Amino acid sequence: MERTAPRDPAIRITLLPRDTNPHGTIFGGVILSYIDQAAAVAAKRKTRHKIVTVSMREVVFKKPVYVGDLISFYAEVTRVGRTSIGTRVVVEAERENSRGDTVRVTEAEVVFVAVDDAGNPVPIDS
């Protein structure tokens, strides 16, 4: 899944001590939450309907994330089906005091389904 990340981040954030696990690195669940949000930003641009997350696939934690890292979440739509939208998210960290160098820390694929007000799948509008 090693490909170039899109260059316009959906989300950029500095993670804080409250986001850590017992080992002192950023808790993976925090990263997953931001991945879901970043993917939703990309997916939402493809439909006027509400979208819901139906799966996260191929989540790969490549390197740890540390307190103070500037984290960028790059998201792109990879597939539009009849009712679903596939996305890819690449997460990069700019380490504190790194002078702008980044390292890829996580990658994931997230799939959404467009739904109506009752939660039923609906076709993606073109």
pLDDT of 30: 97
Q: Where are the domains of the chain?
A: 11-115
**Side-chain-facing half-sphere of 14: CA atoms under 13 Å:** 6
Q: Which residues contact 115 (CB under 8 A, 6 or more apart)?
A: 49, 50, 51, 52, 121, 122
Query: CB of 92 within 8 A of CB of 102?
Result: yes
pLDDT of 96: 83
* pLDDT by 10s per residue, the chain, length 126: 445 555 789 999 999 999 999 999 999 999 999 999 999 999 999 998 999 999 998 899 999 999 999 999 999 999 999 999 999 999 999 998 878 889 999 999 999 999 999 999 999 975
What is the distance between the alpha carbons of residues 39 and 85, in angstroms, rounded to a whole number? Answer: 10
CATH of 11-115 among 3.20.20.300, 3.40.50.300, 1.25.40.10, 3.10.129.10: 3.10.129.10
pLDDT of 3: 55
